[in-house]
Amino acid sequence: MSLGADNLGIRGRLEPLSVMFEEGQVTAICGPNGAGKSTLLAALAGLIETASGKAVLDGEDLKNRLPRERAQHIGYLPQDGETAWDVSVRNLVSLGRLPYGDEAPEMVDAALEALGLKAHANRPVSTLSGGEKARALLARVLAGQPRWVLADEPLAALDIGHQQALLSYLRQTAAAGTGVIMVLHDLSLAMNHADRVLVLDRGKLAADGAPENALATGVVERVWNVSANWAGSPGERALMVRPPGSA
């Protein structure tokens, strides 16, 4: 089972590229602001009209799949998730079951538990903090148990503890066979937690591979235009960025 891009390009935002993703892996998409990360993720979810090529699911053009079928396979979390109504957290998470036409309370409960939200299940979404709301929106995606989880900066609003808990859960999700693709700005988190990293630069694919290769010092310096080096052991690496003009 696969998801990917076949010569996929978005005019003015993403140069044509071909890349395939595997289920059971955590893939991080990294790059500077405006590199095309969110554009690629949304295109893989079938949410952007392409100028060239196509997104493919199991070898078939994603456009050929019915919206409901597409939603059953791909769970997408946008960068700035919004809620149209001030529903309870449980009702928000239950919306993840819409593509299946059932409520599946056990799956909703499992998603609430995984994101540490069971105690907040009956609270209105409007009363949540930014981090709590971010977790509730991701729980909505996970309640659908999609084969692919596509998340755009899912860690941005979370504190360190919740970041680590969420990354651990996503790793467990991948270990169970789900494909996880997420946009990350924190290169240390990508280095330590991803199986694979794609680096985009000005709409082009600059690197693709294991984190230690795709985020090698030379790649980081060239793409982000900084002077840096990695410190620490595998799984615990930290990116040390030297101030401009330092020796």
The residue range of the domain holding 67 is 2-85+145-242
The model scores a pTM over 0.95: no
Rounded CA-CA distance 92/47 in Å is 21
Q: Is residue 233 part of a domain?
A: yes
Say which CATH number the domain at 54 has: 3.40.50.300
Q: Is residue 114 part of a domain?
A: no
Side chain identity at 39, as an amino acid letter?
Answer: T
pLDDT of residue 92: 96
Q: Is residue 126 part of a domain?
A: no
Q: Could you tell me if 156 and 134 are in contact, meaning their C-beta atoms sit under 8 angstroms apart?
A: yes
Angle at 28 between CA 153 and CA 2, to 5 degrees: 115
Q: Is residue 106 part of a domain?
A: no
Q: Is residue 41 part of a domain?
A: yes
Q: Is residue 123 part of a domain?
A: no
Q: How many domains does the chain have?
A: 1
Ranges of residues in the chain with a pLDDT under 70 are: 245-247
pLDDT of residue 227: 94
pLDDT of residue 84: 77
Contacts of 92 (CB under 8 A, 6+ apart): 83, 125, 136, 137, 139, 140
Rounded CA-CA distance 62/56 in Å is 5
Q: Is residue 127 part of a domain?
A: no
